[in-house]
A and B are shown apart, each in its own frame.
Chain A
Amino acid sequence: MTAALLTIENLNVSYRGRGHSAHILDGVDLEIGHGQSVGLVGESGSGKSTVAFALLGLLADNAEVSADHAAFDGRTQDFAKRETASLRGTDIAMIFQDPMTALNPMFSIGTQLVDIQRRRFPKESRKALWARAQAVLADVGVQDAAARMHRYPHEFSGGMRQRVVIAMALLVEPKLLIADEPTTALDATIEAQVVEVLHRLRQRTSASMLVVSHSMGLIAELCDSVVVMYAGTVVESGKVADVLHRPRHPYTRALLACEIDPFAAFDPSQDLATIPGTVPDPSRRPQGCIFAGRCPARHDRCSEKPPQQQAGDGRTYACWLEAA
């Protein structure tokens, strides 16, 4: 097997605050193969967006980032120095969560679609970039794209804006496409349409994808493998079908139990409120298993940190339960 497009080992992020520091990501490992689509799932606040933003060096100024080893497309990257910032808009592109705020209200869609291509195609004329943008806009299902290019964001509905945001990502022909909760801000019918666009895109592009979502359903639809996060740690990872049908970690099970039908549209109001308890405060992480406080299968050993266990099918999980 060839080397993966992206590998990160032991990614740690903490946010400095007044007098204290919150350790948000604790030893996250992530690997995305060429052309592979990986899902990152976990309830809100578990640090999924932090992983995504760290990949682009886009974290807030008060973030401290470190990783033991990180490489993108065969080149090592220093996360502490935010070296991956040089990959923005060329090798990595991002689709943001909230299409209502992701676009600048004062400039036409066309102007914005042109400017985000400049780094990727520095030699192209504005006219050529405009034409590309118009073609891709039509491609993601915006009708009458030629006229819509001259329109402003407020003249687009939420679903149409999200198509514009997706068009941005496609325009730079990235090697890795990150989608951070691409449908969360949309209502159910629009969500289905946008998922459809992403689905088509998934089949056409050779780019790798990282799909961040709190919805197992979306990830099951778009991804080959999945990484389950809880409170800044990876609790389980593996092929989507395996994890979905035979979850090993109690948290994954609870997560799946919350979604009655993983393929149905996800209702954010029913988030994981059904798992009793709350996510631990990042500035006061428990010593042992991070999920112990809410785990239905908790026992004595859980006060120690569980090992990363390997199951044959490339699956890993961090739990004492099924330890041999």
Chain B
Amino acid sequence: MRSASFQIHLASKLATALLAVAGSVVLLLALTRFIPGDPATVILGSRATPEAVAALNARIGLDKPLIEQAFAFFGRLFSGDLGEDVFNGRPVLSLVLGALPNTAALAISAMLTAIVLGVPLALVSARWPGGKIDRLVAFLSVGFISTPSFVVSVFLLMVFSVTLRWFPVLGAGESGDLGDQLWHLVLPTAALAAGWVGYIARLLRSSLLEVLSESHIRTLRAYGVSEAKILMKYALKPAVLPTVAVLGMGFGELLGGAVFAEVIFNRPGLGSLIYDAIRTRNYPVVQGGVFVIVLLYVLTNLIADLSQSLIDPRERARLVSGRGAVT
């Protein structure tokens, strides 16, 4: 009985996650049918024989109804098969796994940068609301949040790589040379993180201010607990919950943003892989790549949700057991 409610909670979360993944795969398969231009014609050229077109359609699964295609996709999935590249027959899974580390490195470094810069800015803004730093951060973050990351990417590329030549223009750096790889990571990270720094700074600031006005903070002040301790310990922990939830969703958005950044900075990764595959109508690769992104998106949301429950002792107690108040 002790952990029954936790299992139910987890099961319902997992069920929702699976539904989301399944739904998006069906949507994805449907979309490929409605994108203008017959894939077989684009791939094989306009002079292809009808036999060749039929053979290709059969290989991609376009000769069957959508539902059947979806079941076939999931069926293969269980044996770890994401399909094959239409041009060279390489397994999509290995293409995706090969591209994933670059994308993950970019998304993670952008997320960490956003946290490392955003949290202190939020703390300072909440400590002196209406002060110089608070107003500056408010002003800048509105600017960065409303500018799409690919615009920032192009701007950074022009200024720091092309004009100033401080950073490399293209690629992900020599494999095996960590320093070079990090060097190549700086600009795309900055482009992706810029909006998120502001977002975290503002979001966390407003939850901090809300918590700071609560009675339990007044209790601590009445006992002369230092403002620094109140802010960094007693206000930060409850205030961080909404931010964690947003970060979970934000990570998925970062992966989306990484697609643009990879294309602009010409970095190998999931984004470039999908982008090239769309241009050449290499549908199995598009499907496999987007599927993995959706999977990561759902997974990070799940992790964010569970870590929220771990931070909050009330949630923790609610999840782990049915124990009520001690009277």
Residues on the A chain within 8 Å of B225, using CB: 89, 115-116, 118-119
* Measured CA separation A157–B325 after assembly (Å): 6
Give A106 to B220 CA distance when docked, in angstroms.
Answer: 14
A155 touches B327 (CB 8 A): no
What are 15 contact pairs spanning A and B, CB under 8 A? Answer: A56-B222, A58-B218, A58-B222, A86-B224, A88-B221, A101-B215, A108-B313, A148-B326, A152-B313, A152-B317, A154-B314, A156-B325, A156-B326, A157-B327, A168-B223
The answer for the CA separation of A148 and B327 in the assembled complex, in Å, is 11
Alpha-carbon gap, A320 to B320, bound state (A) = 66
Chain B residues whose CB sits within 8 angstroms of the CB of A151 once the complex forms? 326
Interface: B90 (CB within 8 A):
no
Q: Which of A86, A115, A160 contacts B326 (CB 8 A)?
A: A160
B216, B223, B326, B327: which has the most chain A beta carbons within 10 Å? Answer: B223
Question: Which residues of the other chain, A, contact B216 by a CB distance below 8 angstroms?
Answer: 101-105
Interface of B is mostly: helix
A93 at the interface (CB under 8 A from B): yes
Q: Interface code B276-313, partner A: CB below 8 Å = 1, 0 otherwise?
A: 00000000000000000000000000000000000111
Is A140 in contact with chain B by the CB < 8 A criterion?
Answer: no
Q: B166 CB to closest chain A CB, in angstroms?
A: 43
Contacts of A85 in B (CB 8 A): 224
User: Residues of B at under 8 Å CB distance from A?
Assistant: 214-225, 229, 233-234, 237-238, 311-314, 317, 323, 325-327
CA A115 to CA B221, docked complex, whole Å: 11
Residues of A within 8 A of B233 (CB): 107, 115
- Point out the residues of chain B lying under 8 angstroms from A104, CB to CB: 216-217, 219-220, 234, 238
Report the minimum CB–CB distance from B38 to chain A (whole Å): 58
**Could you tell me the distance between the alpha carbons of A209 and B323 in the complex, rounded to whole angstroms?**
38
- Point out the residues of chain A lying under 8 angstroms from B215, CB to CB: 96, 98, 101-102
By CB atoms of chain A within 10 A, which of B214, B221, B312, B326 has the most? Answer: B326
Contact (Cβ within 8 A) B222 A93: yes
CB A92 to nearest CB in B, in angstroms, measures 8
The answer to whether B238 touches A116 (Cβ under 8 A) is: no
* Chain B: minimal CB distance from A269 (Å): 22
A116 touches B220 (CB 8 A): yes
Chain A residues near B311 (CB, 8 Å)?
Answer: 106
| Complex contacts, B218 vs chain A, CB 8 Å | 58, 96, 102
19 extra A-B contacts, CB within 8 A, seeds A98-B215, A107-B233, A172-B223: A58-B222, A85-B224, A88-B224, A93-B222, A96-B215, A102-B215, A104-B216, A105-B216, A105-B314, A106-B237, A106-B238, A106-B312, A107-B237, A115-B220, A116-B223, A154-B317, A156-B325, A168-B219, A168-B223
Q: Shortest Cβ distance from B214 into chain A, in angstroms?
A: 7
A5 interface contact, C-beta 8 A: no
Q: Given the complex of chains A and B, what is the CA–CA distance between A79 and B150 in angstroms?
A: 56
